[in-house]
């Protein structure tokens, strides 16, 4: 039992360390090792000039075996634990599907474990659905980290990237953490704050592609960490977000370390919302679809909040 717990602790730390320390390790190696430097330069030049896989559904680098093994996701699942439930089937003949993932949390553990990998049963619940999760382009700028992202099925969050994958067939699906980095700054224990009203582009893509919308909510995701909060710090974080497109929430978990709390997280996949393909949607059509989606997400939250989030401190709140 002790041995299993140690493996689980290591597993939940790996994504944190890769995201926080990975770029620093690569930079240190390139500066300190003359042999490594030319190899790195050639590699960076190659992907900067020629590699379009992040915009082409991950190309041939997506590997179902590795994505379910490499980061020990089954041990991450058992550590919290993580669970996946569904309200309805996702018929591969009625797609493609554009999945809204809520909330962002600090590191999106539940979206990685429950949606991207199969360790909580995504493939058995939704057979034939071939999914990707869209993420910030900056992930694909970091050497080697980008390869890990592509292996796991991460693609660029740019509009053309999402539309490309959705165009590949009715069984395709793309998950988007709609609130993005801005939502991570609203992540505090027991809260359910999401950024959604300003995200018109998500609904425009759905209309342009005819992709059915699928609301997905992870109960407990926001309670995995404590986040430091101060008005001056918040201003700096928002400034970084405006300048770079990402920000850095300062959070801590168990024993004031980077280890997240052991908090049950349940991801519920809602019923798909049919969308009629519209080549040039008007702002009114976008607003109407957004309102329909918000209503569906609210209903999903209200239906399961008392079962999966009994210790919440506040209800679902759209803060932006």
Region 97-104: what's the mean pLDDT? Answer: 98
287: confidence class by pLDDT, cuts 50, 70, 90 = very high
Higher pLDDT, 111 or 15: 111
Q: 104 near 181, Cβ under 8 Å?
A: yes
How confident is the model at residue 105, as a pLDDT?
96
User: Coil, strand or helix: which one is 317?
Assistant: strand
d(C-alpha 258, C-alpha 247), whole Å: 17
**22-57 pLDDT tens trace:** 888 877 877 777 778 888 889 989 999 999 999 999
**199-209 pLDDT tens trace:** 999 999 999 99
92: confidence class by pLDDT, cuts 50, 70, 90 = very high
- Residue spans of the domains in the chain: they are 2-318
Region 137-154: what's the mean pLDDT? Answer: 91
Higher pLDDT, 40 or 88: 88
In the chain, the N- to C-terminal Cα span, in Å, equals 44
**240-278 pLDDT tens trace:** 888 888 888 999 999 999 999 999 999 999 999 999 999
Is the sign of the CA dihedral 84, 87, 93, 97 positive or negative?
negative
How confident is the model at residue 120, as a pLDDT?
98
């Amino acid at each position: 039992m002790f041995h299993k717990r140690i493996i689980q602790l290591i597993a939940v730390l790996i994504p944190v360390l890769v995201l926080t320390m990975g770029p620093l390790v690569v930079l240190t190696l390139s500066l300190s090792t003359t042999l490594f430097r030319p190899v790195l330069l050639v590699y960076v030049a190659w992907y900067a000039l020629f590699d379009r896989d992040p915009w082409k559904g991950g190309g041939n680098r997506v590997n179902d075996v590795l994505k379910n093994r490499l980061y020990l996701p089954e041990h991450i699942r058992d550590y919290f634990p993580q669970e996946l439930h569904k309200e309805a089937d996702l018929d591969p003949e009625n797609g493609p599907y554009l999945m809204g993932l809520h909330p962002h949390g600090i590191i999106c553990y539940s979206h990685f474990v429950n949606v991207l990998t199969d360790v909580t049963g995504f493939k058995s619940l939704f057979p034939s659905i071939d999914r990707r999760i869209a993420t910030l382009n900056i992930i694909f700028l970091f050497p080697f980290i980008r390869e890990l992202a592509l292996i796991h099925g991460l693609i660029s969050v740019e509009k053309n990237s999402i539309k490309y994958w959705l165009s590949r067939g009715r069984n395709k699906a793309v998950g988007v953490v709609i609130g993005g980095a801005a939502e991570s700054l609203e992540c505090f224990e027991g809260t359910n704050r999401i950024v959604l009203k300003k995200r018109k582009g998500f609904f425009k893509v759905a209309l342009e592609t005819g992709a059915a919308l699928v609301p997905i909510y992870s109960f407990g995701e926001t309670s995995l960490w404590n986040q430091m909060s101060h008005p001056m710090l918040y201003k700096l974080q928002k400034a970084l977000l405006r300048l770079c497109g990402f920000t850095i929430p300062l959070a801590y978990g168990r024993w004031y370390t980077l280890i997240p709390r052991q908090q049950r997280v349940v991801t519920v996949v809602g019923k798909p919302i049919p969308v009629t393909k519209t080549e040039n949607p008007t702002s009114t059509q976008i607003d109407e679809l957004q309102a329909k989606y918000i209503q569906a997400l609210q209903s999903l939250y209200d239906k399961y909040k008392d079962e999966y989030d009994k210790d919440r401190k506040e209800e679902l709140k759209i803060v932006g």
